[in-house]
Amino acid sequence: MNENSPKRMTSRGAALLIVLWVAVLAALTCSGCHAPVVVTKPQLFAEGELFLYLEPFPRDAGRLDFTVAGVSAIKSDGTEIPLSLRLTEASPATMKWQRMLGSAILPGGRYSGLSFRISGAGTKTDEGRMALLPPEKPVMIDFPFVVEPQKGILISLTLDEDASVSKRFSFSPVFKAEIPGRPLWGLTGFVTNKGANTIAVFDKREARVTEFIETGRAPAGIVFDQAARRAYVALSGDDAIEVIDLMADYSLTRIRLSIGDGPVELALTPDGRTLLVANNGSNTLSFVDPASQSELARVIVGSRPGAVIVDRLGRTAYVLNTLSNSVSVVDIARRAVVATLPTETSPLWAQLNRRGDRLLVIHELSPYLVDIDLTNRLVAKRVYVGMGARTIKIDTSTDQIYIAKRSDTVIDVFDPFSLLPGNFISGGGSPSYLTIDGEHNNLLALLSGVKRLQFIGLVGKREVAQIDVGDEPYRVVVAGER
């Protein structure tokens, strides 16, 4: 056969094409379903991971801008390993807050420092921008560090603006490098990065990422036990729960579940004695004892369970079943489903009001919010909020309701009495999750599309800061959460 002539598709190829087409259709018709976990990041064995951050430019003196062409980590033997860049243009506009320059999976061992390649630079003058000559050769940063196997290391760089400009016409960056200290427990926040198998640890007061914890596959839902100083993370790709001891150097242990469970969301009773796990793959809810770190029991709920909400007394849990279009009401002490409440199509997330007698549910495939009267277990209201609702948060100090939609940068603020929108907040992206830092009165919006966490002051409803996190950020939790 002539190599330029058309090739006939084999029956095997046709079958493969049909399978792929069916898979695409299934994905399109079930966008709200939790799809099987696909993890692209390789599992770490003898390797660790480096995260390089650049601290914000001084707001009153930042005049420089420069373009980063490449960054490499230098091993002790002189070998250079390039980082995958996330930020290439550094300027007063892009450096209002801390930014991630790049990251790399590196062989474990000793490193002597970093190498920067700069392709362009400039400075702002009274007449406008003036170009500066970039360095002809890579700029070396002498900063010895050690990469430990299966561990993350974060290096923070602060630009010395005055020392970086020579004779007012050339630019060669001078950085102060450091490994940040861990924030105090009361200032700690975690972001699970489902696509990166990491947790970003941040200081919620300074709005600054301080380190990364390498986890198992596809970390998803997360909760803090404020009293025991522990974090529990659902590893949806490993059918397990990762336990992080926040007082013992973030040491990790695991609670094994059943194969195929695919845990996605967690909830902890107020007394810390029962951890509830929504298993999206097996349509079950697990009851886990945090003390013995073992599963005590499980019950069957609806199809594709997701969010789990626990009342303030720790007696009842509400499990949202995405494909069953329902809420399973679970008696925690009896470990039994005692009622099933209907919802609109594809319930996605829910919140209890301040009194705990109403459950507000948003849906992925319905434009209505459902207000469920929990005393009578009946739908009290259906409120139009528009298509694409993605996350909801109720401020328990005011009962104000915050709702964010897919592909919308505006967060709507609903009145708790009329359930009508009375205000809005302009965000920096489309929030996939919302929570509130009660101590600093900030609304935290996880912007998964741009891989950032946004801090919004609730008093002025204005942006306070943004920080870069990891790939596919899924959930955020903070000490002192409200």
Question: What whole-number distance in Å separates Cα of residue 73 and Cα of residue 380?
Answer: 59
Among all chains, which residue has been given the structure tokens 């009329």?
A: 418
Burial group, residue 57, by CB count within 10 angstroms (0-12, 13-18, 19+): buried
pLDDT for residue 60: 64
What are the residues whose beta carbons fall under 8 Å from the beta carbon of 276, sequence distance 6 or more?
A: 266, 267, 268, 269, 285, 286, 287, 288, 308, 310, 317, 330, 332
Q: What is the pTM of this model?
A: 0.91
Please give the chain's pLDDT, 482 residues, in tens. Answer: 333 333 333 333 433 333 333 343 344 334 444 444 444 688 899 999 999 999 999 876 679 999 999 999 999 999 999 999 999 999 999 999 999 999 999 999 999 999 999 999 999 988 899 999 999 999 999 999 999 999 999 999 999 999 999 887 999 999 999 999 999 999 999 999 999 999 999 999 999 999 999 999 999 999 999 999 999 999 999 999 999 999 989 999 999 999 999 999 999 999 999 999 999 999 999 999 999 999 999 999 999 999 999 999 999 999 999 999 999 999 999 999 999 999 999 999 999 999 999 999 999 999 999 999 999 999 999 999 999 999 999 999 999 999 999 989 999 999 999 999 999 998 889 999 999 999 999 999 999 999 999 999 999 999 999 999 999 999 999 999 99
pLDDT for residue 126: 87
Burial group, residue 281, by CB count within 10 angstroms (0-12, 13-18, 19+): buried
Ordered by where they begin, the domains of the chain are: 47-178 (2.60.40)
Measuring CA to CA, which residue among 30, 2, 87, 8 is closest to residue 467?
87
pLDDT for residue 9: 35
